[in-house]
Structure 1
C-alpha cells in the first residue's frame, strides 16, 4: 500500500514465511495471509463457538465468528485512518480468536486447570498452534504458513509477554508465562519482549470496542438489562441518555441500535485521535521503531480508558455473572472437564487425534493432544461427543 505511513508494516519488507511460497502476481503477502485464514477449517468453526450466550440460545446472538468479523471491520477502519496496512490489521483481527475453546471462556478455564502441570492453557498460544501446526490442509507443510508479522500480531497484539530481562510482563506477571511460547515455528524470533506492530495494536483495541458494543446489544436482546439501567454507567450512560432524549417514542430495539452504533463510532474516533497524537509524539519512523517504542501507541484517551473500565465492570456484574449466563456456564464447564478426563483415560479420540493419542509417549504429551482436540471443537460437536460418551445431554434452558 503506497499511501501508508512510514511506521506502517510494509509487505515487501516482511520477514517472510517459514516455508517459501513464491510471489503472488495479484496479492500482497498480508492479503495472502488474510485469505489463508478465511479459508481455514478453524475459521469456519468459529460460527459454532460461544461468545457470551451459548450457541443454542438464538441465532441473533453473537458467536465467535460474528464477533471476529466485527473486530476485523473496526480494525480496518482504525488502520485506514492512521495510514497503517489494513490487510495486516485484518489478518490479525480475523485470526485473534482461532485458539478459543467451545463454550467461550468457560471452556478455556477448564482446559487451563487441567493443563496447569504443563503450564496451563492460553488461547493466544493455542491460536499460534492452530496456524502453525494443527491446520493440516496443505500438501507441503502443517499450518497456514503465515508471515512473521501476522504470527507476531496473533501472539503479541495485547502487548509483550516479557520484559527485556525475560521476566513476565503485564498479566503474565500474575499468571506466569503460558506454555508453548518457546515452541512456535516461525521464520525468525518473534521477540516476545517487544511490542507488536501498530496494525496488531489496532486489532487489539478493536476487540475491546466490539466486545463492549455487542455485549450490550446481546444483553438487551436477552432481557438481562434495559437501557434505563445504563444511565449512570460510564462511557455508555451519556449516549443512552442522549438517545432516549432524542428518540423517546421509537421501539426499544431501535433505541438499542442507536446506542450501539454511537458507542462504536465515538470509541473508534477517540482511538484514532488519541493514537495519531501518540504516534506523532513518539517519533517512530518505522515499524521497527514501533516495536521498541516502550509502550502501546494505539489506545483510548485516558478519560475514555477509565470510562471503558467502568463499563466493563457494569457488564461483568450485570451480564457476565447473571445467573441465566452462569447456569449454562457451569454445565458447559462440566462437559469440557468430563471430556478431557475421559480422553486422558481411554485415548479413544477419533481420526488423526486417536493416532496422535496412541503414539503419545508421556502423559504430558497425551494431555497436549487432548487439549488440542477439545479446543478445536465447536459447541454442538462437544455436546454430541458428551452425549455419545456419557449418554447424557445438558439442558441449558
Structure 2
C-alpha cells in the first residue's frame, strides 16, 4: 500500500461523512498517474503554490493602489488569510482540509492588477466580459494548464457569484473570502487613516467584536456552529446579516469615493489603454499569448489574459514604454 493510499484510508476514518474524499474525486481533465505520496488534492495544492500565477499575487493590489507602507495587504496576503480561515473551519468540521486549502490558494489566481478597479476596466472593454473567478479557472485550465481535479476547479470558479460549489469545502471559501477581506480591509483602512474603529456602528462592534481578531473569531465560530448543527456550510442568520452590513459600511466609507481610490480612474484608463494598444498590435504580444490565437482563442480574450496576468508594477512599466516619451540624448560623433 502506498503512502497516498494510507492517507486516503485515514481520511475515511477521521473525516465527517459529508466531507469530500480524495479517493472519490471526479478526476482531472486529463488522466495522470497518481502520486505515491500525496492525495490528488494535496497534489493540486502543490501545483498551485509552484505556479507563476501564485507568485505574481505578491505584487497585485488588494484594495489600496500603490500604498505607502509595508503592512498593507496584497492579493497574496489576502489569499493566505482566506486559506487560514477556511482551513480552521474545515478542520473543526472534519472536512477535507487539503481540498479546502487548494481551493483557497487558487481562488484569486486570475485577478487583475489594481484589484477590482482592474477587473472593472477589463469588464468594460472585453466583448466577452470579464470576471476574476472565471479568469482564475481559465488560468489553471489554459494559461498554466495545471490539470487540477474537478473539485478544486469547481471551488475556484464558484467562490463568488450566485452558483454554489458542489463540495462543502468549496462552499467554505465563499464565506472565508468575505470574512477575510471585510476584516483585513477594515484593518488597512484604519491604518490609512480613512476610518477609525469608533466609526463602525456601535451595535456591530458589540455583536461582532471591537477588534480585528474578535470579529474574525465571531464569524468563524458562527460558521463552525452552523456546520455542526446542520451538516452544511452556512452561518447564523444574525451574524451573517451583521457581516453583510459591515461589508456595506466598507463600500460606503472605503471602497467608493475615498481619497485612497482617487487613483482608480487612472488605473482603469491605463489598463484600457493597454487593451486597445494590444488589440491593435497583436504582433507585439509575448509569444505564449500569440500562440493562443493560433489555437483559436479570440484576440480580445487573449489580450485580456495578458493584461490580467500583469502585476501592478509590470503594467505600469509596459504602459510607460508604450505611451510615455523617453528622454533622448544626442550622441556626438
TM norm structure 1: 0.75
Equivalent in the alignment of 1:277? 229
Counterparts in 2 of 1:231 and 1:157: CA distance versus 1, 3 Å: closer
Q: Give the C-alpha shift of residue 360 in structure 1.
A: 7.9
The 2-side partners of 1:273 and 1:392 are apart by 60
Q: Give the C-alpha shift of residue 229 in structure 1.
A: 1.3
CA deviations on 1:371-393 (whole Å, 9 max, x unpaired) are: 11001110000000010001179
Equivalent in the alignment of 2:79? 68
Residue pairs, 1:28-67, within 5 angstroms: 28-67=39-78
Counterparts in 2 of 1:114 and 1:92: CA distance versus 1, 3 Å: same
The structure with the largest helix share of the pair is 2
CA deviations on 1:184-207 (whole Å, 9 max, x unpaired) are: xxxxxxxxxx74210011111111
The 2-side partners of 1:20 and 1:302 are apart by 42
Counterparts in 2 of 1:159 and 1:53: CA distance versus 1, 3 Å: closer
Q: Is the 8 A contact 2:208 2:219 kept in 1?
A: no
Q: Which runs of 5+ in 1 are unaligned?
A: 136-142, 162-193, 241-258, 280-296
Q: Is the 8 A contact 2:208 2:218 kept in 1?
A: no
In the alignment, which of 203, 213, 231 is matched to residue 261 of structure 1? Answer: 213
Q: Give the C-alpha shift of residue 322 in structure 1.
A: 4.0
Equivalent in the alignment of 1:104? 115
Counterparts in 2 of 1:236 and 1:88: CA distance versus 1, 3 Å: farther
Q: Is the 8 A contact 1:271 1:298 kept in 2?
A: yes
Q: Is the 8 A contact 1:96 1:124 kept in 2?
A: yes
Q: Give the C-alpha shift of residue 210 in structure 1.
A: 0.4
The 1-side partners of 2:264 and 2:19 are apart by 41
Equivalent in the alignment of 1:343? 278
Q: Give the C-alpha shift of residue 326 in structure 1.
A: 2.1
Q: Which runs of 5+ in 2 are unaligned?
A: 1-10, 327-333
CA deviations on 1:344-372 (whole Å, 9 max, x unpaired) are: 11222223224545x487xx811011011
In the alignment, which of 189, 195, 202 is matched to residue 232 of structure 1? Answer: 202
Q: Is the 8 A contact 1:49 1:55 kept in 2?
A: no
TM norm structure 2: 0.89
2:142 is equivalent to residue 130 of structure 1: no
2:316 is equivalent to residue 386 of structure 1: no
CA deviations on 1:133-190 (whole Å, 9 max, x unpaired) are: 101xxxxxxx0011111111112234664xxxxxxxxxxxxxxxxxxxxxxxxxxxxx
Q: Is the 8 A contact 2:208 2:242 kept in 1?
A: no
Residue pairs, 1:1-397, within 5 angstroms: 1=11, 2-115=13-126, 117-118=127-128, 120-135=129-144, 143-158=145-160, 161=163, 195-232=165-202, 234=204, 239-240=209-210, 259-279=211-231, 297-347=232-282, 348-356=284-292, 359=294, 365-391=298-324
Moved over 6 A (4+): none
Aligned residue pairs total: 314
CA deviations on 1:61-100 (whole Å, 9 max, x unpaired) are: 0010000000001110000111100000001111110111
| Root-mean-square deviation over aligned CA pairs | 2.0
